[in-house]
Amino acid sequence: MQRVFVDVDTQHDFCRPDGALFVQDAPAAMPACARLVSRAIADGVLLVGSVDSHAHDAWEFAGNGRVGPAGEDPRFPQHCVKGTAGWLKLPETLPARFYFVPVVPDPDAAARIPAGTQAVYFEKEVYSLFANPNAAPVLDAITPAGPLEFVVFGVATDYCVRAAALGLQDWIAARPARAGSRVVVVSDAIAAVTADGGNKALRDLVAAGVTLAPSAAITG
């Protein structure tokens, strides 16, 4: 079974103590995240991921006077505004040759990925990388044929990691040719906003058929 590594939101605003929406346990998880990225590059296997990408007036942000399409009003502080220092990925999780897929629908998104790209990151405005309309078709186009093992890591367990893992489960279930695929969340390469939220997310993931494994089981 071929692997696909999935790096979720390892960005400055989430993972550094001076970040705008700092996840407290993220620094402890980042060495394992960096090792997983290095392993993907060393093995020459597909690395994909997500980056939270907002405009300054995002409805998620407190003080903007806006709500989401279903009335959501999380009142997060301003974070991961595209082009700011807080939006950037951590250097240790960014390979030399990468490509960002914008949120704008693009039927030719997969064809635009340059040859030799080591990682493909989907910009997103909400939790799931599949909120990017190009994510599912690009994965269809760039992943190896047959069953896959998706190795998921990053932040935050109770929000975007949970959404990514469940979205991958749905992507697999909708594709009979991917029967036998599985999603693995790396237990020491994730961090939650709250302990209770993280524990509940892990219970939800296991109930949905996601496997939990330490990074040593992946990197050897």
Q: Across residues 17-41, what is the average pLDDT?
A: 97
The mean pLDDT of the chain is 95
125-169 confidence digits (pLDDT tens): 999 999 999 999 999 999 999 999 999 999 999 999 999 999 999
Q: Is the pLDDT of residue 59 over 90?
A: no
Q: Does the residue 121 lie in any domain? A: yes
Q: Which range marks the domain in which residue 150 is found?
A: 2-51+89-219
The CATH number assigned to the domain holding 184 equals 3.40.50.850
Q: Does the residue 59 lie in any domain? A: no
Residue 121 has which token pair? 């990151």
Model confidence at 57, in pLDDT bands (50, 70, 90)?
Answer: confident
- Please calculate the CA angle 36-41-44 and round it to the nearest 5 degrees: 125
Write the CA distances from 124 to 7, 77, 182, integer angstroms. Answer: 13, 17, 23
Give the pTM. 0.95
Write the CA distances from 16 to 19, 22, 27, 129, 188, integer angstroms. Answer: 5, 6, 7, 21, 17
DSSP string, 66-114: ---TTS----BPS--BTTSGGGSBPGGG--SSEEEE-SS--TTTGGGSP
Provide the pLDDT for residue 60. 81
Q: Does the residue 65 lie in any domain? A: no
Provide the residue type at 198 as one letter.
Answer: G
Cis preceding-peptide flag for 156 (omega within 30 of 0): yes
Q: Using CA of residue 180, residue 186, residue 190, residue 192, what is the dihedral sign?
A: positive
Q: Does the residue 102 lie in any domain? A: yes
Q: Does the residue 118 lie in any domain? A: yes
- Residues forming beta bridges with residue 68, ordered by sequence position: none
Q: Does the residue 61 lie in any domain? A: no
Provide the pLDDT for residue 148. 98
Q: Is the pLDDT of residue 69 over 90?
A: no
Residue 171 has which token pair? 């992507």
Helix axes 162-173, 135-142, angle to 10 degrees: 60
Domain count, the chain: 1
Segment holding 14, helix H or strand E: helix 12-15
164-195 confidence digits (pLDDT tens): 999 999 999 999 999 999 999 999 999 999 99
Q: Does the residue 197 lie in any domain? A: yes
Helix axes 162-173, 195-207, angle to 10 degrees: 10
Q: Does the residue 58 lie in any domain? A: no
Cβ atoms of 162 and 170 within 8 Å: the answer is no
